Chain A
Amino acid sequence: MLIRTQLRLAAVLPAVLALLISCILWSANLAVDRAKRDADLAETVLRFNFELNILTQEYVLYGGRRIEIQLRKRHQSMGELLARLPAREAEERELIDVLKSGQEDLGSFYDLLLVSKPEARQQLVGALLVKAQEMRAKTWEFATIQHQYVFEFQRQADTIVVTATIVLGVCSMILMALMAQRLVRGLGQLEDGVQQVAAGDFEHQIRLTKADELGSLASSFNRMIHQLRDSYTSIDTLTAEIVRRQKAEAELQLLNAELEERVHLRTTELEAANKELEAFSYSVSHDLRAPLRAIDGFSRKVVVNYGDKLDDEGRRQLQVVRDNAQRMGQLIDDLLGFSRMGRRNMARQVLDMESQARAVAAEQRALEPRRSIEFTFLPLPPAHGDPAMLRQVWANLLGNSIKFSRQRPIAHIEVGGRAEGGEVIYWVKDDGAGFDMRYADKLFGVFQRLHRQDEFEGTGVGLAIALRILARHHGRIWAEGHPDAGATFWFALPLSAQDEPLSGEPSS
């Protein structure tokens, strides 16, 4: 039962008892009132009895019609009063019966008295008085009984009130004690549970299965502990996760540090390698060319100083020596140029590709004044890159187009470009010797050539340099051609500038 209901019952019980007591008191009062009224009636009867006695005396002394009427009226009134007297107990009923018969006797006496002669009256009066005396005694007795009733009812009412109060008090105390016991026990269990949980035992369950507020409090508390445990579990999981991540981060930092160290080491190694490469290039450029210069120079001296002692074949053979020395010199120069292109610093700027291409074409054309070349320049979008390097690309591509179209009476070279898909694409198209697409992959290799030296001179480095320059610009280069049907070379540069890769180590 809910504590709220219990408390309500405990409050209602005294009210019910009080109502009961009030009812009892009320009915007791009614009984007392009734008994008092009956006593009053009896006393009125007594008074009427006295008055009848007096009227009888008066009638005997004086006679007369007036007294006679009064006697009759009073006797009648007394009869009416007697008829109203209640008869609750046998004793009362008996008294009332006696009184009623006495009344009738009195009536008979009065009838006799009123018709009797005065001399017979004295005897009648005596009987009347005796009868009246008798009736008074009975009436008094009746009144006494009524007074006893009053007293008795009042005492009964007092007893009931006292008893009811005592019962009420005892009941309330018992009820309160029971409730208090229940409450205290429930609260005690709750307190124990809370203390256990407070001490950190999240597995504890309060075993309180009462169907009252304490029971629901206990189950709510259990639910709360369950949720608390869940959240603690998730906090634990979270903490574990945080620890795991911190560890991972620390490991990552360590790895990063190691990586940085390795990068640093590699950079140092790379720098050392670069320095070695520079030293090597320097040696090549300086020391390898000197012997070639000597070969060529002294071959020439032989021809100049001893030419008259040589025949044509001797002079031709010396010329072969010189040609090859010169060619090797050219190879070395080109190779060094290629090497430098990979090492030199890059400048980044927006370039007017059209004017650059036109300028390079004009320079190259000036080298071939006897040739008939028709250039077509389509509008070229600007590019972002190193001016000298991209100028080199134009020079190599346009130089190739001019060189490989030399067998045409009128060579046609078209230069064009467009922006497309995040990059700018340029092309140089000629109607020259072209090439076989089967060997297209060899075009951009160092010293790779698709034509014989006696057809078209060259060292096979130009396109390799172009490829390297475009690689450093994050661009690309490709070509399409057909034997004797011309070639088209495309190169593409990204629209937005990017950082160049590590290969761009600065040369000292």
Chain B
Amino acid sequence: MNANDEGLQVLLVEDNAADAELTMDALRDAKLVNHVQWVKDGAEALDVLFKGGAAAAAENQRLKLVLLDLRLPRVDGHEVLRAIRADPRTKLMPVVVLTSSHEESDVVRAYDLGANSYLVKPVESEAFMAAVRELGLYWMLLNKLPGDIK
């Protein structure tokens, strides 16, 4: 496993620029990823995954992680998750919900739609950084995807 592999590795779906910046800071600080693409809403996320050139889509469909906020303009996080799980090319893709929502209903719905994990963003920045760092470590380094083991 090499963290410096070419190509897009993490897709960050986050409408809040500050949260996005802090998240990317945390991932970069941990030196886990080179390629993080940040999209600001669900529609954009679906474009990155399923539209554009066939080659690009195929490339993007080999993501190691999608960090998905739930409350998004246009297409919300649950819809994105549903679309990812509905498509055979992306249905095994690791999706971690990273949200401000403590709502039990959101948690249940996310898992119901096939989220791999659910994290509530802490307000306190050290805790936030630590959380993102640890999830990055886990999903980028420790977690194995189909095809990783040769």
Measuring CB to CB, which residues of chain A are less than 8 angstroms from any residue of chain B? 281-282, 285-287, 289-294, 296-301, 322, 325-326, 328-330, 332-333, 336, 344, 507-508
Task: Enumerate the 9 nearest inter-chain pairs by beta-carbon distance, A residue then B residue, closest first.
Answer: A329-B123, A294-B18, A297-B125, A286-B100, A297-B22, A300-B125, A296-B125, A289-B100, A292-B123
- A285 near B18 with CB under 8 A, answer no
Q: For B123, list chain A residues within 8 Å (CB).
A: 289, 292-293, 296, 325-326, 328-330, 332-333
Interface residues of B in 1-60 (CB under 8 A from A): 16, 18-19, 22, 25
Distance between Cα atoms of A296 and B123 in the complex (Å): 7
Q: For A329, list chain B residues within 8 Å (CB).
A: 122-124
Knowing A290-B16, A298-B18 are in contact, say whether A285-B100 is a contact too (CB < 8 A).
Answer: yes
- A294 near B103 with CB under 8 A, answer no
Write the nearest CB–CB distance from A429 to chain B, whole angstroms.
Answer: 33
- B124 near A507 with CB under 8 A, answer no
- B99 near A286 with CB under 8 A, answer yes
- A297 near B18 with CB under 8 A, answer yes
- B22 near A293 with CB under 8 A, answer yes
- B101 near A294 with CB under 8 A, answer no
Question: Residue of A at shortest CB range from B29?
Answer: A304
- A294 near B100 with CB under 8 A, answer no
Question: Residue of A at shortest CB range from B100?
Answer: A286
- A508 near B125 with CB under 8 A, answer no
- B99 near A293 with CB under 8 A, answer no
Q: For A507, list chain B residues within 8 Å (CB).
A: 104-105
**New A-B contacts (12) at CB < 8 Å, excluding given A294-B19, A326-B124, A332-B123:** A282-B103, A286-B100, A287-B71, A289-B121, A290-B16, A293-B19, A293-B121, A293-B128, A294-B18, A297-B18, A300-B125, A508-B105
B126 interface hit (Cβ, 8 Å):
yes
Q: For A333, list chain B residues within 8 Å (CB).
A: 102, 123
Number of A-B contacts (CB under 8 A): 70
Question: Residue of B at shortest CB range from A336?
Answer: B102
Knowing A300-B125, A300-B126, A329-B123 are in contact, say whether A294-B22 is a contact too (CB < 8 A).
Answer: yes
Q: For B25, list chain A residues within 8 Å (CB).
A: 301
Q: For A285, list chain B residues within 8 Å (CB).
A: 100-103
Instruction: Determine which residue in B22, B100, B129 has the highest number of CB atoms from chain A within 10 A of its CB, and name it.
Output: B100
Instruction: Determine which residue in A281, A292, A293, A294 has the highest number of CB atoms from chain B within 10 A of its CB, and name it.
Output: A293
Interface residues of B in 114-141 (CB under 8 A from A): 121-126, 128-129
Write the nearest CB–CB distance from B69 to chain A, whole angstroms.
Answer: 9
Distance between Cα atoms of A292 and B121 in the complex (Å): 11
Distance between Cα atoms of A380 and B68 in the complex (Å): 47
Q: For A344, list chain B residues within 8 Å (CB).
A: 104
Write the nearest CB–CB distance from B13 to chain A, whole angstroms.
Answer: 15
Measuring CB to CB, which residues of chain B are less than 8 angstroms from any residue of chain A? 16, 18-19, 22, 25, 70-71, 99-105, 121-126, 128-129
Question: Residue of A at shortest CB range from B25?
Answer: A301
Question: Residue of A at shortest CB range from B102?
Answer: A285
Question: Residue of B at shortest CB range from A294?
Answer: B18
- A293 near B18 with CB under 8 A, answer yes
- A296 near B100 with CB under 8 A, answer no
Distance between Cα atoms of A297 and B101 in the complex (Å): 18
Distance between Cα atoms of A298 and B16 in the complex (Å): 13
Distance between Cα atoms of A326 and B122 in the complex (Å): 9
Q: List 27 A-B contacts (CB under 8 A).
A: A282-B101, A285-B103, A286-B101, A287-B71, A287-B100, A289-B100, A289-B123, A290-B19, A291-B18, A292-B123, A293-B18, A293-B121, A293-B125, A294-B16, A294-B19, A296-B128, A297-B22, A298-B22, A299-B125, A322-B125, A325-B123, A326-B124, A329-B123, A329-B124, A332-B123, A344-B104, A507-B104
- A290 near B104 with CB under 8 A, answer no
Distance between Cα atoms of A286 and B122 in the complex (Å): 11
Distance between Cα atoms of A14 and B71 in the complex (Å): 127
Question: Residue of B at shortest CB range from A281?
Answer: B103
Write the nearest CB–CB distance from B66 to chain A, whole angstroms.
Answer: 19
Write the nearest CB–CB distance from B4 to chain A, whole angstroms.
Answer: 24
Q: For A282, list chain B residues within 8 Å (CB).
A: 101, 103
Distance between Cα atoms of A287 and B16 in the complex (Å): 10
Distance between Cα atoms of A454 and B70 in the complex (Å): 37
Q: For B102, list chain A residues within 8 Å (CB).
A: 285, 333, 336
Write the nearest CB–CB distance from A461 to chain B, whole angstroms.
Answer: 14
Q: For B19, list chain A residues within 8 Å (CB).
A: 290, 293-294
Q: For A286, list chain B residues within 8 Å (CB).
A: 70-71, 99-101
Write the nearest CB–CB distance from B132 to chain A, whole angstroms.
Answer: 11
Distance between Cα atoms of A290 and B72 in the complex (Å): 13
Write the nearest CB–CB distance from B115 to chain A, whole angstroms.
Answer: 17
Question: Residue of B at shortest CB range from A290?
Answer: B16
Q: For B128, list chain A residues within 8 Å (CB).
A: 293, 296-297
Q: For B104, list chain A residues within 8 Å (CB).
A: 344, 507
Q: For B22, list chain A residues within 8 Å (CB).
A: 293-294, 297-298, 301
Q: For B124, list chain A residues within 8 Å (CB).
A: 296, 326, 329
Distance between Cα atoms of A269 and B110 in the complex (Å): 29
Write the nearest CB–CB distance from B68 to chain A, whole angstroms.
Answer: 14
Write the nearest CB–CB distance from B113 to chain A, whole angstroms.
Answer: 16
Distance between Cα atoms of A292 and B22 in the complex (Å): 12
Distance between Cα atoms of A281 and B22 in the complex (Å): 24
Q: For B16, list chain A residues within 8 Å (CB).
A: 290, 294
Q: For B125, list chain A residues within 8 Å (CB).
A: 293, 296-297, 299-300, 322
Q: For A289, list chain B residues within 8 Å (CB).
A: 100, 121, 123
Question: Residue of B at shortest CB range from A292?
Answer: B123
Distance between Cα atoms of A300 and B126 in the complex (Å): 8
Write the nearest CB–CB distance from A215 to chain B, whole angstroms.
Answer: 94
Q: For B129, list chain A residues within 8 Å (CB).
A: 297
Question: Residue of A at shortest CB range from B106?
Answer: A282
